[in-house]
Amino acid sequence: MSFIKGERMLIRVSSLYRDTSHFFRHQWFNIILIAFLIACITILLNKTFMPSLDQIQVLNNKAVISSTNNLIEIIRNMSLQQQHVLLQVSAVGTFSSLVGNTMLLGGMLSLISMASSGKKVSALIALGASIPSLSRLFLLISLMTLSIQLGFMVLVFPGILLSVLFALAPVILNTDKVGILTSIQTSSQIGWSQIRLIAPPVMFWMLSKIFILLLISKLISVPPDIASIILNTCSNVISAILIIYLSRLYMLLN
């Protein structure tokens, strides 16, 4: 049996997975409902703020795309109108993703806290209870996302490493009520010392996200909106399981 030494106790790896599975089995309905509601909100934000179909079709310039395989060159060869539409599409996608991730984190952390303390809880109650913390979570997730994306742009490994080091930051922010930078700093310290505990589930989460993206091309016969809701819900459920695992880990470390 593998053991990882924490600051005050030995944590059994298998018990973490067992506790995560146990919580999911008892709260599966609320977790899936939260994942589904967040998926619907994310799709709704995309549909509301995304440029019209006529504007998006402006990007379909095959001559520009086929002339080079370099993304920077493709953008340089675009007209100002095409660059504006591309920026708008990218901004809407990023914003809706950040909002969805923030609400999922807030809802799951509230669900875990309330269920662990023996309170009666539902998906809607958990989402409602998370509202006061959403603004701070949004700022934290935005900063984390920017840092991790920059890490992936430099090399793949720095992005993966930052994902592992920052993984506990939202849990720390919500549990200890500390500042954003303090939560990131504390998460980095714990993430480095407990990397064998945190890295495997984070890597599994990343690979699962990639697998879900690959499934999009397979759902040809399903209406696009339905396919998006299904895939987003599945992605949210996987993220929710990771949140449960990290919350349980931080609880044991404390």
pLDDT over 80 (residue 44): yes
- Domain extents in the chain: 3-253
CB atoms within 10 A of CB 207: 11
- In this structure, are residues 202 and 163 in contact, taking their beta carbons and an 8 Å threshold? yes
CA dist 148 and 159 (Å) reads: 5
List CB contacts of 14: < 8 A, sequence separation 6 or more: 1, 2
Residue 15 token pair: 């018990």
CB neighbour class for 241 (10 Å; exposed up to 12, middle 13-18, buried from 19): buried
Residue 4 token pair: 């990882």
69-84, pLDDT tens digit by residue? 555 666 666 667 766 7
CA dist 154 and 149 (Å) reads: 9
Spatial CA neighbour of 95 closest among 130, 137, 45: 45
CB atoms within 10 A of CB 27: 22
pLDDT over 70 (residue 160): yes
Residue 228 token pair: 């998006």
What is the structure's pLDDT at 6?
A: 42
Confidence category of residue 217, pLDDT binned at 50, 70, 90 = low
Confidence category of residue 121, pLDDT binned at 50, 70, 90 = very high
